[in-house]
């Protein structure tokens, strides 16, 4: 499947943020056992080793699960980050903002572009710049009404909300018409991963993915 097909099928992206390469394999296995099939590995711009770390984790995901998963990079705020992600095998690029050079590089290299935006003007701008999907960010758990109001006149634009997703909100956010949702901290944190709490990570992942699976393409 293509990354877009993965997203439309599984409806959920599991985010790996602040996870070190040392515990990445066990963390990824735990998330996979919990039903995650789409992984977003985020850069940390404040960390000097972020390029090497992010590339290592992207490669770990693909080495473990190959074509049975889709893996991309998050917090891609520069073309250099996009290039590093592509070299590691990333299939989609997620950003917290809209940057034309990042979208252009992403599209030119056959990856799915998912830039971030929040207001109607920003969302439309991102789509016109070539976004395949727009990441609506940041979205708080109580902002489902905002999301419905904003996307109603922009219903032709595929979107993914990020920021307020937890087991209690997955269903409601997907009911807004989102193609998928994404969550990280409600599944895995640095503390859980480094503490070896992999069964807890699996449990957290399953709480999200079981709800998301109810919204497959076949049910729409």
pTM for the complete prediction? 0.96
Q: How far apart are CA 201 and CA 203, in angstroms?
A: 5
Query: Other CB atoms closer than 10 Å to residue 52's CB: what's the count?
Result: 13
Cβ atoms of 178 and 161 within 8 Å: the answer is yes
The sheet that has 12-16: what strands, in order across it? Answer: 112-114, 92-94, 70-74, 38-42, 12-16, 181-183
pLDDT of residue 127: 98
Span 112-134, pLDDT tens digits: 999 999 999 999 999 999 999 99
Please enumerate in sequence order all residues whose Cβ is within 8 A of that of 162, keeping only pairs 6 or more positions apart, or say none: 15, 116, 135, 136, 137, 138, 139, 181, 182, 183
pLDDT digits (tens, 9 = 90+) for 24-38: 999 999 999 999 999
Listed residue (206, 212, 210, 205) closest to 185, CA to CA: 205
């Amino acid at each position: 499947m293509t990354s877009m097909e993965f997203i439309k099928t599984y409806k959920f992206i599991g985010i790996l943020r602040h996870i070190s390469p040392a515990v990445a394999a066990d963390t990824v296995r735990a998330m996979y056992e919990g039903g995650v099939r789409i992984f977003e590995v985020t850069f940390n711009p404040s960390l000097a080793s972020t390029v090497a770390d992010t590339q290592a984790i992207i490669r770990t995901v693909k080495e473990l699960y190959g074509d049975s998963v889709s893996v991309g990079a998050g917090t891609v705020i520069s073309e250099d980050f996009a290039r590093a992600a592509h070299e590691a095998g990333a299939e989609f690029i997620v950003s917290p903002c809209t940057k034309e050079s990042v979208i252009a590089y992403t599209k030119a290299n056959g990856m799915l572009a998912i830039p971030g935006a929040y207001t109607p003007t920003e969302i439309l701008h991102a789509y016109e710049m070539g976004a395949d999907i727009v990441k609506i960010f940041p979205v708080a758990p109580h902002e489902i009404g905002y999301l419905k109001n904003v996307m109603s006149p922009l219903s032709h634009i595929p979107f993914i909300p990020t920021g307020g997703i937890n087991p209690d909100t997955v269903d409601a956010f997907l009911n807004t018409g989102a193609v998928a949702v994404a969550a990280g901290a409600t599944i895995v944190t640095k503390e859980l991963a480094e503490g070896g709490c992999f069964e807890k990570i699996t449990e957290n992942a399953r709480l999200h993915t079981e709800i998301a699976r109810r919204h497959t393409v076949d049910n729409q």
